[in-house]
Structure 1
Amino acid sequence: MKNLLLAAAVVFYAGYASPVIAQKAETPKFISNTEGIKEYSLSNGMKVLLIPDASQSNAVINIVYNVGSKNEGYGEKGMAHLLEHMLFKSTKKLGDIKKMLSDKGGNANGTTWYDRTNYYEVFPSNEENLKWFLAMEADRMVNATILQTDLDKEFSVVRNEFEIGENNPGSVLQERIVSSAYLWHNYGNSTIGSKEDIERVKAPTLRKFYEKYYQPDNATLIVAGKFDEKKTLDYISEYFSTIPKPSRVIDPDYTLEPAQDGERFVELKRSGDSKVIGALYHTAPYADKDYAALDALAEILTADPSGYLYKAMIDSHKAAAVYAYQPLVRDASYMYFGLEVPADKDVKATENEFRAELDKVATIKYTQQDVDRAKAKILKQLENIKNNTIGFAINLTEIIGAGNYKLGFLYRDTVEKLTLADVQRVAEKYFRTNNRTIGVFIPAKDEVRVKNVEYSNEQIASLTKDYKGKALEKEAAPFEASIKNLKANLTEGKLSNGMKYGVIKKEIKGGKVLGSFRFPVSNAKDLSAKSDIGSLMAQVLKTGTKSHTKEQIQDMLDQWKSNVNFGYGGQTFFVNFSTYKESLPKVMDLIKEILTESTFPEAELAKTINEYNTYLESSLNDPQSIAFSEIERITENYPKESIYYTPSTKEQIESYKKVKREQLVDFYNKILGSNNGVGTIVGDVDTKAASTLLEGTFAKWNSKSKYEYIKPELFATKKQDKEYLTPDKENGAAVGKISFSMDRKSPDYPALVIANEMLGSGGFLTARIPTRLREKEGISYGAGSFVNVPIDNNVASWSWYAFFNPTKKDAVNKALKEEVNKAVKDGFTEEEFKSNLTSWLNSRKTGLGNDNTLMGLVNSQLQYGQSLDEYDALEAKVSALKVSQVNDVLRKYISEDKLTSVFAGDFNKK
């Protein structure tokens, strides 16, 4: 969903200066500058972090409260998460918060976890936006209304969110394992909570929780991206320093999970198509040095292709996928392993084999290469996060929840210093059978038990107090988010084989360089019945070349802090990379090597098919998968050999099983090539040097198959509702579609875009469809609409979707049809049009702050000849519309008589 801006709301709020009880304002006190994070504090206890980045065109405000599901008491399970939802309702000063957030544009959200709750907004950087969002967050910190009438509607939405999670066997199994592993500590409770508690909690109880924890002395405010630091501090002083420090004291948590005294076992039996095994070990808090060593060990054990568990379970085809992760939390954490088992495997036998492999973890003699490889991957991830300022500011949420933002730097420093001895030590310390939850209880004597580590606030303060961090990096230059500026910094060219390219000169934090390439290939005859071959070919592509193994390729990318990804769909082969300026030549050489020397190992193809089909088997009875797949099958009538044919899940599974290595090699050698392709690089790179690199990489890589564009066909939709039963699934899904003829040159296109915004796509869940289904009736967690109008053909469509409790199917269907018919009959109002226009324009401004958006626009210009000026031209056309024109276009294309809908769920539930 996009979030939108309403001009009237800005006018309403412009004079709002003091959100709470007036008291003398104070200037935030400067504390430190740690690697570009400027820390301040207020006397009311609130912490402030400023992370300026002039190269951004957007800014983000993220406020973190040190409260999560860990703080919930008896009968309160899910209260922290429910309260998060309620803070999007209204305040005493502002009124409808969700509507104003929707009106304001950008991206806004809130999340809850074990130790923290956060609320963030990403928006186009300007003083008005900055001032409004800061004032709004200060207001809802202490002035949320938390009305019982709002709660009565919202609890069913949260319950619906709960039910969506209940459809996933892997998620439910993990929840059961975690709850069995923790007897006393609240990490054993799911953050989504108990459905019974969610349904029964009353507004006064929720308010007590809110008034205790939503206070300045329990909050950290982060402002990052492009902003004026002095004005920001002035606004923080004006809005937040006037909030008094509460008289109540939040006592430190003192519950410590006792050492586990034997292996525990959980068996879950319920509807589903997946076979999943999970295992959990108690570990250390994020503040402890063992946490980093354990993260490295997880990578050593599960990495594809070098991991010990990966080799034992995946290379042997005993399982389809294995993964591990360690939650980033304040108190003693855990490491969770997940194993996905193919349908044709005995889950009990696989469980015993997995347990046997886990038993070896403490005794394996790890190597220095293992440690170096894991460190390289982790440090690459940390570097990439740090150099995405907006994402970095949001990512700090978890670290603040764990005790202090500086712990993130200490973690990185610990990773850099990790030794082989550290990894060996934690493997021996934590990977004991009596510290594991997977199976039955086994009596044993003389157990050496693992005691959880406890850190006090004073210890964390001591750890972080004098930490200075590394030297500050060079700041990236500003880059205005506009088409004019994009054109001014764009250089286009053509390689000797005809491939077109663009280079966007733009400094990205850390010297990062991104690339995105599209290669249209072949023709209908040569691609007949080869969609699955192309898809698998792209996935197996970087699993080995004549010069390097899969393991060596991954090691090189990790050392270079780079990523290279390949994909194939329809008639297009995709290549994308992320690297840094100094590694760009090496990455381009590697891409060339992969594109011209790949060997497609038989074993890797088998593993990929196994992984794909295991995933597909898990979705055989999934309502969402069925709904979105079947709507295409019902509304389109392509032959099976067409690139546009949508197979059923069972057909897809059988098709993958039949693919042979020789088919991949043939596709690779005959179909792929760059001579009809386009690509864009963005970063602070020399244009001539980039041109030389592209020439050397792609100019001699040409397809042997003649390229001819395969046009899709237009199949008329009709009034039809079709049901698919998915027994014992807690949530249902619905998708509808209307097909029609239109391309983006159509004079009706601008009006249809804004009509869809008002009907179901725009706003923070306040467009007509989500407002009716979620806000007014509380019968859907997620609902909305979207349009698909292509550039290169005229096969267009409008679609709607909703996720709901299966017992609400008729209510969802009725509400959807009524909203569509009402819009068609009565039209939209002038007020709706103006407010959605403003917010739509702001959302597009936000989009221009994204590097992937910039590359996509340039690639479309190169591939389709669609001028960059069309971006601004569309905005001008939409802005010039009259609401009567929008209503006419809506009536022309949208009608219940043409609407085909699919409903999937357990509709026998009562």
Structure 2
Amino acid sequence: MQQVSRLRLAIPALGLAALGIALAGPLAAARGDSAPPKKITSVEGITEYQLANGMKVLLFPDPSRPKVTVNLTVFVGSRHEGYGETGMAHLLEHMVFKGTPDHPDIPGAMKERGADFNGTTSDDRTNYFETLSATDDNLEFAIKLEADRMVNSRIRGEDLATEFSVVRNEFERGENSPENILSQRMASVAFEWHNYGKSTIGNRTDIERVPVDSLRAFYRKFYQPDNAMVVVAGKFDESKALELVNKYFGSLPKPDRKLPATYTEEPPQDGERVVTLRRVGDVGLVGLLYHVPSGPHPEFPAVQVLSQILGDEPSGRLYKALVATKMASSIQAGSYGRHDPTVIEMGAEVNTKDLGTLEKVRDVMYKVIDEVIKSGVTQEEVDRARQSYLKNHELAASDPNRIAIALSNWASQGDWRLYFLNRDRVEKVTPAQVQEAAAKYLTPSNRTVGFFIPSAKPERTPVPATPDLAKMVEGYKGREVKSLGESFDVAPMAIEARVQRPQPIEGVKVALLPKKTRGDVVHVTLNLRYGTAESLKGKTDAASFLPGLMLRGTKSLSRQQIQDLLDKNFARLGGGGGRMGGGGGAGVLSYSIQTKRANLPAVLDILRQVLREPTLPEAEFEVMKNERLAALEQSRTEPTRLGINHLQRLLAVYPKDDVRYTPTVEEEIQRLKSVTIDQVREVYQSFLGASHGELAIVGDFDPSEALSTLGKALEGWKSPQPYARIERPFQPDIKPERETIETPDKANATYFAGLMMKLQDTDPDYPAMAIGNSVLGGGALSSRIADRLRQKGGLSYSAGSSFNASPLDPRGSLMVMAIYNPANRGKVVAGVDEEVARILKDGVTQAEVKRAIDGYLKQQEIQRTNDTALAGTLAENLYLGRTFQFQADLEAKVKALSVDDVNSALRKYVDPSKLSVVTAGDFKKP
């Protein structure tokens, strides 16, 4: 479950489970034949219907991906909460996962079908969604489930007694983030009366003391068909989906009560307000917040463009004034569309503890804003911001999942068609409108910084009310529907039959999977491998800069020109690699592309320049270095970072100069400080080339055209030094440890435990261990560990385990993690120890094994519907010398597993005496 946080901005239920007392009987007593749905409108392939009971329905078919998403939106959020009810919408979101008489174990049912599911709460709405394989049975399951729990959830006192502490744990997790808390404090000062000033997760005492009767009344009031919308997106038969929606949602009676509209209106602010937050930490923050119109208001798109012009990287005004000059390590700016007048917020991260330095940064932010008000913005800046917005809008259009969520967000602001109308408005924004918005709203009297300072002459900035939405969207038709793509079979051998593997380019192996996709989208993954464990000694920190720095300038293109070309071509180009880059570890350089068929050649040419002609600019290197140092400084007192870092050090022991060594945070800071631009350039010149690597392309593209362009990029590019895979062997002499790390003034604590095992993913026991882990803790909300710590004990918002085994070395790992209140450390440690001991002693059950196997197979199927993941699998298979026959064989082995197989593997590889445990938090607080 999540709330949307500000400046990154609702609450998803990823860690939520089943809750409930039946409030209306099975499906609120289905009424027999329901009146046929009424078609309301159709815009760009999305059709709206309304049921006789007032329920809204959106259907968005996309046959190109064999999965379907059902998203239920209830139009209730923190905006609707009354006195003593803060956090109630979010708490109820948790409780609705606690089950109904017909669906007593919702997380278990989801896991059994391999569903990707969650719930989120924001200011204006609550969402529940699940994505499953596209079958009629799954579609009916999801629609029936959502209709059932919308009115029949068991809101029971005993469930509330445990779940409120889970929500409190989630609250405490948010308390660990200075950025999150500063943003909340600014909002609470800026909004004196409106609920937008209150955090969606609520007040701690409200969460702890809410009476179950009050929660039931809140549920009965808002969770009704006339206050909800269901979106079905993906591969499905429209007539069948509409029939099912009408069968299960249409049978729900329309309530007699009439929901009152919220009516609190925030008065114009009459002077600058300032709030100061003092907590343990190492990195300073400066934030500014201004009131602006609501998301539906015609002026809001100009505010969106303004926030992009201020906060974009590297073209943004604030970025150039603060990050490029090294006054700040990072900046961000954002405007949040809401039902009622909202805010634009911007912030800067500064590596200092000195208030005077922070005030200087604040003054520079004032100057930048004043310059926009005085002199305006350029057409180029508006075009760049607009193109960035349109690119993201266009790319999202190829993913029914993302559109379903976006539609619900706009619907909660008044009407789902605003999703398209706002795009149309952004296209028409002018520099004059941006300057007008800045002059009108970014005024000192409308600003919140931290503490209140009266002015000699009070100033007020009235914010217009939300306009008449019915007139605004009346007759709106939208645009012509884009290409839908093909129906794609994701069975492993069906995919294998379509994969093309032409001759390598230089030393780069190639796999191609051309297919029609919605919006003509194509995905590219490229891995280049270089160096050896010996030759890369002492060079991994320098190498970690390469992927990002290579994207920041070439002989022909500046960083800004690269970004502008990517926006023009509706493309994303990302890089990773090296120890800090996240692209596969030392000795790997990775790039990924997402674009459209017609633009692929142009984007591949950009990649060619990035690979072959990078300038590795020193100024950008210093910016990157400063950003990383600031992030590391901030993590010095963060329980999660410190806990997992220490566990990794316990489980893999290497010399300090070895590429496989895990440094402490302090060591990492010192190593990073010592890296120079000359060292980075030396790694590029001495190691980079196309002698070893993998390339995979999935989606809508011309194979011959793509290969021709890539040939120009890679042919003749020899790696100067030899490459050899860096082995990571099993280390049998690792001694288990149990250690504690103190992190003062942190409300949330972490538990990490792990052990290593001699196991490879080709070993016979691998499938059984994977399923055994799923039962133990890998099943999200439904597992032994999650049931013990969250569902029964109410100790943890997030708890579970993970299992991994190398495909190349006989080295596997089992990890367990949990977050919790520091006062509950003993219960959490004992709970994990007891559950591990219990599963080894008593074993797993047939029902658990069946559910885990079904969930595993369906999850693998859903993963293959994601073209980005599919490209990654193709590249990995090239590296490992595998085809999809491996995945097919593995799934067959999983299907054949017995209870004895799973129990035997768990008892063979899981030895509690070898479990290393690290707890991190403020354990000295009384």
Deviations 1:108-151 (A, max 9, x none): 11100100001000000101111111111111111111000000
**Which of 792, 816, 828 does residue 812 from structure 1 map onto?**
828
Maintained 8 Å contact 1:544/1:601? yes
Q: Which amino acid is 2:448 matched to?
A: T
Aligned 1:391-402 pairs, distance under 5 A = 391-402=402-413
Secondary structure of the structure 1 residue equivalent to 2:747: coil
Q: 2:762 aligns with which of 745, 750, 754?
A: 745
Matched, 1:66 2:75: yes
Match in the other structure for 1:324: 333
CA contact (8 A) 2:175 2:181 kept: yes
Q: 1:174 to 1:344 in 2, by over 3 A?
A: closer
The offset of 1:439, in angstroms, is 4.3
The RMSD of aligned alpha carbons is 1.7
2:365 matches 1:348: no
1:404 aligns with 2:404: no
Corresponding position of 1:465: 474
Q: In the aligned structure 2, how far is the partner of 1:353 from the partner of 1:455? A: 33
1:481 and 1:496 map into 2 onto residues whose CA distance is 27
> What pairs with 1:880-891 in structure 2 (closer than 5 Å)?
880-891=896-907
SS at match of 2:168: helix
Q: CA deviation at 1:273?
A: 2.3
Deviations 1:50-106 (A, max 9, x none): 000000110000011111000001001100000000000021333233332333321
Q: What displacement does 1:302 show?
A: 1.5
Structure 1 residue 825: Cα displacement: 1.4
C-alpha distance in 2, partners of 1:671/1:582?
33
Residue 110 in structure 1 maps to residue 126 in structure 2 = no
- The equivalent residue for 1:263 is 272
**Equivalent residue for 1:761?**
778
- Aligned position for 1:827: 843
| TM-aligned CA deviation for residue 187 of structure 1 | 0.2
CA–CA separation in structure 1 for the residues paired with 2:471 and 2:396:
26
2:372–2:435 CA contact under 8 A, matched in 1: no
Aligned amino acid, residue 410 of structure 2: I
1:720 aligns with 2:737: yes
Q: Report if the CA contact (8 A) 2:376-2:431 is conserved.
A: no
Residue of structure 2 equivalent to 1:12: none
Q: Could you tell me whether the CA contact under 8 Å between 1:108 and 1:120 is conserved in 2?
A: yes
Q: Could you tell me the TM-score, scaled by structure 1's length? A: 0.96
Give yes or no for the alignment of 1:864 onto 2:880.
yes
Q: Which residue of 1 aligns with 2:154?
A: 145
One-letter amino acid matched to 1:750? P
Residues 321 and 364, structure 2, Cα contact 8 Å, conserved in 1: no
1:597 is matched with which residue? 613
Q: Secondary structure at the match of 1:490?
A: coil
2:208 to 199, 206, 209: 199
Task: Select between 636-645 and 897-906 the one with higher mean Cα deviation.
Answer: 636-645
Matched residue SS, 2:375 = coil
1:338 aligns to 2:338 (yes or no): no
Contact 2:271 2:459 in 1 (8 A): no
Equivalent position of 1:234 in the other structure: 243
Q: Structure 1 residue 562 and structure 2 residue 571: aligned?
A: yes
What is the deviation of 1:17?
Answer: 9.7
Per-residue CA shift, 1:569-595, capped at 9, x if unaligned? 222110111111111111111111111
Residue 186 in structure 1 maps to residue 195 in structure 2: yes
* Residue 22 (structure 1) shift: 2.0
| CA distance in 2 between partners of 1:231 and 1:848 (Å) | 25
- The Cα offsets for residues 233-259 of structure 1, whole Å up to 9 and x where unpaired, read as 111111111111111111221111111
Conserved in 1, the CA contact under 8 Å of 2:863 and 2:869? yes
- Paired with 2:567 and 2:291, the residues of 1 have a C-alpha distance of 28
Q: 1:79 aligns with which of 88, 91, 94?
A: 88
Q: What per-residue deviation string (whole Å, max 9, x for no partner) do you get for residues 362-404 of structure 1?
A: 2233111111111110110111111111221122221111111
Structure 1 residue corresponding to 2:63, chosen from 35, 54, 62: 54
Distance in 1, matches of 2:443 and 2:365, equals 14
Letter in 2 for 1:848: R
Partners of 1:267 and 1:452 lie apart in 2 by 26
Structure-1 residue corresponding to 2:588: 572
Question: 2: distance between equivalents of 1:732 and 1:594?
Answer: 42
Distance in 1, matches of 2:402 and 2:503, equals: 34
User: In the alignment, residue 47 of structure 2 is paired with which amino acid?
Assistant: K
CA contact (8 A) 2:274 2:453 kept: no
Cα displacement (A) at 1:449 = 2.4
Worse-matched range after superposition: 282-291 or 46-55? 282-291
3-state DSSP of counterpart to 1:600 = coil
Matched residue of 1:115: which SS?
Answer: coil
SS of the equivalent of 1:803 reads strand
Unaligned runs of at least 5 residues, structure 1:
4-8, 10-15
Other-structure match for 1:100: 109
Whether the aligned pair in 2 keeps the contact of 1:20 and 1:143 (CA below 8 Å) is: no
Look up the match of 1:295.
304
- Does residue 515 of the first structure (1) align with residue 524 of the second (2)? yes
User: Would you say 1:156 and 2:165 are equivalent positions?
Assistant: yes
Q: How do residues 185-584 of structure 1 correspond to structure 2 at under 5 angstroms? A: 185-343=194-352, 346-444=357-455, 448-455=459-466, 459-569=468-578, 570-584=586-600
Unaligned runs of 5+ in 2: 2-11, 13-17, 19-24, 579-585
Structure 1 counterpart of 2:737, one-letter code: Q
Alignment partner, residue 583 of structure 2: none
| Distance in 2, Cα, partners of 1:462 & 1:851 | 40
- Residue 447 of structure 1 and its aligned partner are, at CA, apart by 5.1
Give the secondary-structure state (helix, strand or coil) at the position aligned to 1:286.
Answer: coil
Please state whether the residue corresponding to 1:245 is helix, strand or coil.
coil
Corresponding residue number in structure 1 for 2:22: none
Preserved contact between residue 27 and residue 152 of structure 2 (Cα < 8 Å): no
CA distance in 1, matches of 2:907, 2:675: 46
Distance 2:98 2:766 in 1: 34
Kept in 2: contact 1:499–1:699 (CA 8 A): no
For residues 20 and 324 of structure 1, do their structure 2 counterparts lie closer, same or farther at Cα, with a shift above 3 Å needed?
farther
Which letter does structure 2 place at the counterpart of 1:51?
F
Question: What is the CA deviation profile of residues 494-551 of structure 1, one whole-angstrom value per residue up to 9, with x for unaligned ones?
Answer: 2341211111112221111110111121112221111111111222111111111111
Of 900, 906, 910, the residue aligned with 2:916 is 900
In structure 2, what is the Cα distance between the partners aligned to 1:88 and 1:159? Answer: 17
SS at match of 1:491: coil
Cα distance change of structure 1 residues 347 and 445 upon mapping to structure 2, 3 Å threshold: closer
Deviation of residue 626 (structure 1)? 0.5
Secondary structure (helix, strand or coil) at the match of 2:391 reads: helix
Please give the alpha-carbon distance, in whole angstroms, between the structure 2 residues aligned to 1:17 and 1:77.
30
Letter in 2 for 1:612: R
Pick which of 269-278 and 317-326 moved more. Answer: 269-278
Q: Give the partner amino acid of 1:102.
A: K
**Deviations 1:301-329 (Å, cap 9, x if unpaired)?**
12111111111111111000010111121
**1:779 — aligned with what?**
795
Task: Please name the residue that 2:6 is paired with.
Answer: none
Contact 2:600 2:706 (C-alpha < 8 Å) held by counterparts: no
Instruction: Give, in whole Å, the separation in 2 of the partners of 1:138 and 1:292.
Output: 35
SS of the counterpart of 1:492? coil
- Out of 390-399 and 78-87, give the one that drifted further: 390-399
Separation in 1, partners of 2:513, 2:505: 20
Query: Which SS does the other structure have where 1:362 is aligned?
Result: helix
- 1:13: which partner in 2? none
AA at the equivalent of 1:907: F
Contact 1:169 1:274 in 2 (8 A): no
Q: Following the alignment from structure 1 to structure 2, what is the Cα–Cα distance between the partners of residues 356 and 743? A: 59
Check conservation: 1:19, 1:135, Cα contact below 8 A: no
Deviation at 1:476, TM superposition (A): 1.1
Quote the offset at 1:425 in angstroms: 1.0
